[in-house]
Structure 1
Amino acid sequence: MRVRNVLPVLFFVLLVGLGTSFGFLLDTYFDHQKLQVRYETLEHDRLEQRLDILFQARKLSGLQLDYDRIDDFCRKLMVMTNMSGPRPDWDDFTGSGGPLINSMTLSPYDTRTLVRNMQGAVVALNRDVLDSEVLQQLILKQVRENKQLLDSTPSVWPVKGRITSGFGMRQHPFDKTYKFHRGLDIVPPGGRGTPIHAPANGVVVFAGRDGGYGLSLLIRHKNNITTRYGHLKAMAVKRGQKVRRDDVIAYVGNTGRSTGPHLHYEVLLAGKPQNPRRYILN
């Protein structure tokens, strides 16, 4: 009798316990589902932010290359026109430099701020690119006003090819000591006999053999600029002859102290060697 009276109570308590447990498990399941949806949403947002960052970084990289290219071209034009810097009335077009993204803004925990900073850098750099293009046009305008100066300033490659030795210190190919190289050594694809073209208008002031340069040429241009061409096979001009840009003046050879057919090309300003790359626009 007592057992029969206790069984319903135990059954009721067990039923209540099971119901409570089931409710708790059901509530936990729905909470987990909500967390899963929240996690997937956050993961989707994080992926979109990463894509946005990569897109902005790509735009920044492209704009930086454009800016560097235009800035380099402007500097070359200033060198060619004997300008030490922009004129005072060009101050509005000299560019101020964009707000570069520094290490303080590269926190992986604040991608939204990073994206905003990158967008700001893109806007600023884009403005500087436009300003530099305006500055370039102003310089070109001044160059056009003095066309004779431009025509007489070396600005193109005398021959195109592989640069085997640049301007500056290098190990000499013969005595293996480090010496200053006064120009560029250019090896054209055609090798010996490739035509060499005048990079600007000028007058031939020397044509003959010159020690280690072998058969060589010197052409005097305006603004106290002279160009030298060494290790020639043959010459197409003679001393005192006037030449114009793109005229064939000589042919690539291997004369003098040379390890193989190539052109040694120098640009001299008042007799002092300059980096020829600073004068090459094409």
Structure 2
Amino acid sequence: MARKFYTIMIVPHATAKFRRVKVSKNFLVMAGCFLGLVFVAGLMFPHFLLKASQLRASLDRLTQENEELRKSNEKFDASLSDLRGKLSEFETKATKFALMVGVDDLNGQQMGAGGSSFDLKGLSPKASEAVIEGEINTLRERSGALQDSFRVLDMAFQKQALLLSSTPSIVPVRGLMGNGYGWRRDPFTGMRDFHEGLDLVAPIGTKVVAPADGIVTRVGVSGGFGNSIFVSHGYGIITRYGHLAGYNVKVGQRIKRGDVIGMVGTSGRSTGPHLHYEVLVHQRNVDPVKYILDEYRSF
């Protein structure tokens, strides 16, 4: 098929020679397409420029948000590390308290099981979330175990407090110490005799106080002790008070350390005003001095 051509005549001005340019039809079509593409590109360029600007702004915003998230994760990591440290400190103290009150196994597998620090740097948000969630679950389990441990310690301390409050620890009468616990010469027979208590010399009527919490089990005359009071403190501990002038309690009465239970006298087998004080542990007499924490002093 013969190619088609077009002749374009160019006339610069009236006196000049005109020129003819011969172009093919295909060239004109291609030139038209090219000009059309340039026109379309010119129309689309502002749109693409706007899109690129929006994408750039979105990228900058995401970069800023990622940086803020990274800083937030680092702060959260520091907070968790601080929480782990404090939890480990509480666990250590709980273990020491357990030793103090005689609790042998205080959730041994939990005590001292402190977690190691972790680093969230370089992790994706999803991976960081998984690590943080796992750490929180670990801390929740440890705090639950620590809470159970403190419940056990609270019960142990209550028992210990009851034992301490029921253990004689103060002198029942402020006075001078006469005959102590042990062998002596009997003041009436002159024979060698074992003295099972402590004689505290004080004027008649001096108040006698309970050295510990307990229950009065006997009030009345008891052989050579004369007017006497017996008190049971629990845990196998009993105290006896002899040669009293009078009573301030009755059988079955609960008393507290420091309560006035009677008055010094010279009843029974006595050579003068004093209090005969005995301490028995599991039905056996012991030296009362071992159960007096405060010092003797004269009145």
TM-score by length of 1: 0.49
> Highest Rg: 1 or 2?
2
TM-score by length of 2: 0.46
* Bigger relative contact order, structure 1 or 2 (CA pairs below 8 A, ≥6 apart): 1
